[in-house]
């Protein structure tokens, strides 16, 4: 199968919609009708454990009832790189859907649904740090200041962010397992665990965060769209998610979702008052580069006016 290109998915979703049987043909009121079995989807465990990501997927499925009933299960626990390999494997059912930052390789190997479900907030990063290291970050006014202080950033080995940070001359320390990075931060293996605005509050609620705080003044920013990905042959699921999200955008429920799940983070983290450190992302495909730039450029308005605007 030819690699998926995001620009083609809207047409595929429409074609899929037109080819589905009419809902009346499957009416529950018809005598003898047997309720169809739900389609089972296994969401990567870290996404399943995230209320926002799980809600976005449920929203997309709920907006497309003509595809039939569905069930979302939690995948076994595995690192992000392994999850991507499972998605790529035809016939593997360990993971069938994941929401992760995009990259050209992922768009080539997998089937991407090119709508950033957090409105682009994954590309806005704050530092989780040790509370007694706060003075190390005081007075930073630019990316050059951050680099000159030789502050190091912890990231996942398989995360596209690691390459972005390295390309911007930042020192990066990696590990394959997300949970282990918090332990490494406590042991001073690096200075800052850079977490997305859309995920950091949830992170700290889940881990034992004694002695860890969110650095209050800095905001790293780079184009980093996060998409739902499915296996390269799973056309129907990709079309359903795309169509459902498009319907949610059109009827306003997607804006309500953003406000409900991310509005608290924007308010509590006081994003509009932070010093913005802008990084380049050299590793976006021709399809995703304009999506990433547009998402990043509109975040200032979203932050100023509220995510529902």
Phi, psi of 41 (to 5 degrees): -125, 135
Give 165-208 pLDDT, tens digit per residue: 999 999 999 998 888 999 999 999 999 999 988 889 888 888 76
Residue 132 has a CB neighbour count (10 Å cut-off) of 9
Residue with more model confidence, 130 or 178 = 130
- Domain parsing of the chain, residue ranges: 6-118+225-264
- Pick from 265, 287, 241, 242: nearest CA to 108: 287
Residue 233 has a CB neighbour count (10 Å cut-off) of 12
Position 19 pLDDT exceeds 50: no
Percent over 70 (pLDDT), the chain: 84
How far apart CA 240 and CA 9 sit, in angstroms, is 10
Q: Which CATH superfamily is domain 6-118+225-264 in?
A: Periplasmic binding protein-like II (3.40.190.10)
User: What is the residue-averaged pLDDT of the chain?
Assistant: 85
Contacts of 190 (CB under 8 A, 6+ apart): 152, 153, 154, 171, 173, 184
pLDDT of res. 179: 87
How far apart CA 2 and CA 47 sit, in angstroms, is 27
- Please give the model's pTM, rounded to 2 decimal places: 0.74
Position 292 pLDDT exceeds 90: no
Overall average pLDDT of the 237-245 stretch: 97
Q: What secondary structure letter does DSSP report for 142?
A: S
Q: What is the pairing mode between strands 152-156 and 192-196?
A: parallel
Give the helix/strand (H/E) hosting 231. none
242 exposed, middle or buried (CB, 10 Å; 0-12, 13-18, 19+)? buried
Give the helix/strand (H/E) hosting 227. strand 226-230
pLDDT of res. 21: 33
* Per-residue confidence band for 299, with pLDDT thresholds at 50, 70 and 90: low
E-strand stretches of 131-217: 152-156, 171-175, 192-196, 212-214
């Amino acid at each position: 199968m030819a690699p998926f290109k995001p620009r083609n998915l809207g047409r595929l979703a429409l074609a899929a919609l037109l080819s589905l049987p009419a809902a009346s043909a499957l009416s529950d009121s018809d005598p003898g009708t047997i309720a169809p079995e739900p389609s089972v989807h296994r969401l990567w465990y870290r996404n399943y454990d995230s209320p926002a990501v799980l809600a976005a997927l449920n929203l997309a499925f709920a907006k497309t009832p003509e595809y039939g009933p569905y069930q979302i299960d939690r995948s076994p626990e595995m690192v992000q790189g392994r999850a991507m390999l499972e998605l790529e494997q035809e016939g593997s059912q360990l993971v069938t859907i994941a929401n992760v930052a995009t990259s050209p390789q992922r768009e080539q190997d997998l089937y991407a649904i090119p709508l950033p479900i957090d409105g682009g907030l994954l590309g806005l990063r704050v530092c989780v740090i040790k509370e007694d290291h706060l003075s190390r970050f005081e007075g930073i006014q630019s990316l050059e200041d951050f680099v000159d202080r030789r502050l190091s950033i912890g990231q996942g080995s398989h995360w596209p962010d690691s390459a972005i940070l390295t390309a911007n001359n930042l020192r990066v320390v990696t590990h394959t397992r997300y949970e282990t990075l918090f332990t490494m931060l406590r042991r001073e293996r690096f200075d800052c665990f850079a977490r997305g605005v859309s995920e950091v509050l949830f992170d700290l609620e889940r881990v034992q965060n004694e002695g860890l705080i969110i650095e209050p003044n800095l905001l790293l920013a780079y184009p980093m769209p996060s998409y739902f990905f499915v296996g390269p042959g799973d056309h129907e699921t990709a079309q359903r998610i795309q169509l459902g999200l498009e319907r949610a955008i059109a009827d306003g429920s997607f804006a309500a979702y953003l406000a409900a799940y991310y509005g608290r983070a924007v308010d509590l983290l006081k994003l509009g008052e932070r010093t913005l450190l802008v990084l380049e992302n050299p590793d976006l495909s021709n399809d995703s580069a304009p999506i990433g730039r547009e998402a990043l450029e509109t975040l200032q308005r979203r932050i100023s006016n509220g995510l529902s605007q």
